[in-house]
Structures are given as structure tokens and as C-alpha cells.
Amino acid sequence: MTTAPVRQGFLMPIGGAENKVRDRTVLRRFVELCGGDAANILIVPTASRRAETGPQYEDVFRDLGAKEARSLPIETRADCRIREHVDSIGVATGVFLTGGNQLRLSTTLGGTPFAEALIEGNREGVHVGGTSAGAAILSDHMIAFGDEGSTPSGHMVTLAPGLGLTHRYIIDQHFRQRDRLGRLVAALSYNPANVGIGLDEDTAAIIDPRGRIEVSGSGGLTVVDPREVEFSSMDSSEPSRPVCVTGVRLHILIHGGTFDIETRRAEPRQLTEKET
């Protein structure tokens, strides 16, 4: 007897400051991904200390047509062991992690029954989105904090364990707005095994179970591909000195563009007949 393959859910990291008022392209796409008018979305506002964060996303997702949107009051590690919170992932079609402080998010969720249920839920088809801090924690290696600037340097970035929903990408957010190219390249210089994603604000990477990305939103997505790195001076660099890295490939994609991690090929959005 053969078992049907499990359908893994999508990931949707967002670069922060997504539009919540006007066209709401990015959040609308998350609702569509989660089932549209059948969507049942759980909101995890743990990274934020603002009491209104969870209810705000409840209102936005319901206004965009979701059948159900509910914020979970997870503030402590003890909250992550409450059976009702853990079991709620089993009936959700999507889970959304809000912005705030990614270390608050990782130190609260990491290694708890709730985090384990979230990881298992994604394997079984629950889509997981996150904005800003909620985007950074989706990867195996999370950028905890770091310095601004376009040139990498030693000790420019600090990494911490994330949720590990993707082992193939390292995600950074508020990318162009906060000049974070240097810290993403620095993160990849430690071990060029992952691909870096730099997300501008109001911009999302829709990552399918194969690891293929489609871009949605009003900004750009920077792909930093270190597979062909020839040299890095990270191992011998002093903390404040610039790091030399050669052989890095970089792509800038906008709405509708794609990146295939298997072929390492980036493609612009294909124009329709009306647009040509």
C-alpha cells in the first residue's frame, strides 16, 4: 500500500511595512494563498509589543475576504505550551507572524510545542507568512541584528537559529530602505551554502515547496547567490574592516519575477499579449 505524498505549504516572507490600507497587494496574495473566502488564518503577534497589532491584522485579513482570522495571545514560552494554541494550527490554512523584534520571537517560540506544531503544520500544507521579524525567523539561520551599509565587514551581522522552515535561504527585510546589502553578504560569507533574499518593504517572496520564488508587491527583491564564490576574506578580517568577496551573483527582481533555486536562474515577469 502506497501513501499519498504530503503537500507542503508555501512560505511568504514580507519585507515589512506592507500596505494595509489601499490596494494591499501583498496581504491580499497571502489570503488567496490560504484559500480566499475559505481561509482560516492564525496571527502570531509575539514579536510586537503593541497590543493593537494582532487585532489590526484580524481586521485586514477579514476585510480581504478570509473566512476566519484570529490572533493568538502568545507572549511567553508558557503560552506556547497551551494545548488550545498548539492544536489551532491543525485546523488553520495559514499562519502569519507579525513584525517586531525577531529575538523576542525566537526566544519565545524556539523549541516549544507551538513551534514544533508550526513546523509540522507547514510540512502538511499550512502556509506560513511573516513580515519583518516574522520573515527573518522563517529560515534556518536567522539574521538577529547587524549594521547598515552596502560593504560587508567582519562582525557586521549576528546570526541566530530560526524556525528552519527553509534550509535554502537566509532572509533579510527592510532591505533597500535600511541599506542592508552588506550584512546579507556578510551572513552568506560565513558559509556560502544558502542563497540570500533581501526584501524591500511592501514586497514578498512567495516560496513554493520546491524552493522556487515568485515576487509580489511594490518594491524589489534582491537575490544574492554565493554558489560561485571564489574567495572570501571573512576568516581573516578584523571586526571593523571590509571583507573581500569575489564571484557573488546578484539579481534584482520586481513584481512577477521568479527565481528557481534548482537551476539558479532568475527571470523577469512574463508580459501578457496586451502589454507587449
Which residues participate in catalysis according to the annotation? 132, 174, 201
Give the rounded distance of the alpha carbon of 50 from its chain centre: 21
Q: Which residues contact 198 (CB under 8 A, 6 or more apart)?
A: 172, 173, 175, 176, 180, 181, 184, 221, 222, 223, 224
**For residue 100, how far is the Cα from the chain centroid?**
13
Q: How many CB atoms lie within 10 A of CB 196?
A: 26
Count other Cβ atoms within 10 Å, centred on residue 255. 17
Distance CA 120, CA 87 (A): 12
Q: How many angstroms separate the CA atoms of 16 and 13, rounded? A: 9
Separation between Cα atoms, residue 165 and residue 103, nearest integer Å = 17
The values of phi and psi at residue 120, to 5°, are -65, -40
Question: CA-based angle 193:196:198, to the nearest 5?
Answer: 170
Element (H, E) at 84: helix 83-88
> Would you call 206 helix, strand, or coil by DSSP?
strand
